[in-house]
Amino acid sequence: GQQVMQIPQYQHVQEGEDFTTYCNSSTTLSNIQWYKQRPGGHPVFLIQLVKSGEVKKQKRLTFQFGEAKKNSSLHITATQTTDVGTYFCAGLNSGGYQKVTFGTGTKLQVIP
Amino acid sequence: NAGVMQNPRHLVRRRGQEARLRCSPMKGHSHVYWYRQLPEEGLKFMVYLQKENIIDESGMPKERFSAEFPKEGPSILRIQQVVRGDSAAYFCASSSGRGQRSYNEQFFGPGTRLTVL
């Protein structure tokens, strides 16, 4: 079945440093979504990418969808303590109904 | 417009008892998903339902677990004869399902933390 892996699993950064998490799918995706889960909270939708090579920005966050639609990345510029949490990508497949497969997640810790 | 509601927020059961988890999707949403999350781990898909239909239950254990989404009322995830390994956070999410290729944003509920003693 479809697998979606993320690296790294954990990342500690000093406040102000940049952070990137990478998402790789075993199959070609229709869309990719990104979610953020704060400690003790629930996942919250951040963005969806649809087109091959698409790049979207939300303030300090930059999301990219690979040309082959099998990988994606999330880059945070100048991290802040409010960025702490686990970031999940979620891949939507191309066939049948759009099943969502969540990635393994990257847990970000920001040191003040 | 209320978000996804889940209750109870915390549930404690002894081994062998039954656990019933409820999820009310956002108003207008007819697609419901259930996920399980163990501490420090990712979200594991369990089941996807539309009103009165199970679309995909490939992530749900064959025994002891069942889910429904009746025409009226919330979606229910039922775990019979719970064991310690069932202790986890169970999240429900809903989506509108409209414009399939362009939507499917999932709105998550606050989760039910199940503890099996």
The per-residue pLDDT for range A95-107, each reduced to its tens digit, is 656 678 899 999 9
CA distance B57 to A52: 30
Contact (CB<8Å) A104/B33: no
Can you give the pLDDT at residue A96? 59
As a dihedral over the C-alpha atoms of residue A37, residue A38, residue A40, residue A41, rounded to 10 degrees, the angle is: -60
Beta strands A100-102; A4-7: pairing state: unpaired
Give the distance, in angstroms, between the CA of residue B72 and the centroid of all CA atoms in the same chain: 16
CA distance B52 to A62: 39
Can you give the pLDDT at residue B102? 46
Q: What is the mean pLDDT of residues B40-49?
A: 90
- The dihedral built from the CA positions of residue A23, A29, A33 and A38, taken in this order, carries a sign that is negative
Contact (CB<8Å) A100/B111: no
- CA-nearest of A39, A63, A40, A67 to A52 is A67
DSSP structure class, residue B25: P
Confidence of residue B110 (pLDDT cuts 50, 70, 90): very high
Given a cut of 70, is residue B103 above it in pLDDT?
no
Can you give the pLDDT at residue B5? 96
Contact (CB<8Å) A99/B91: no
Q: What is the mean pLDDT of residues A2-10?
A: 92
Q: Which residues of A touch B93 (CB under 8 A)?
A: 43
Can you give the pLDDT at residue B13? 98
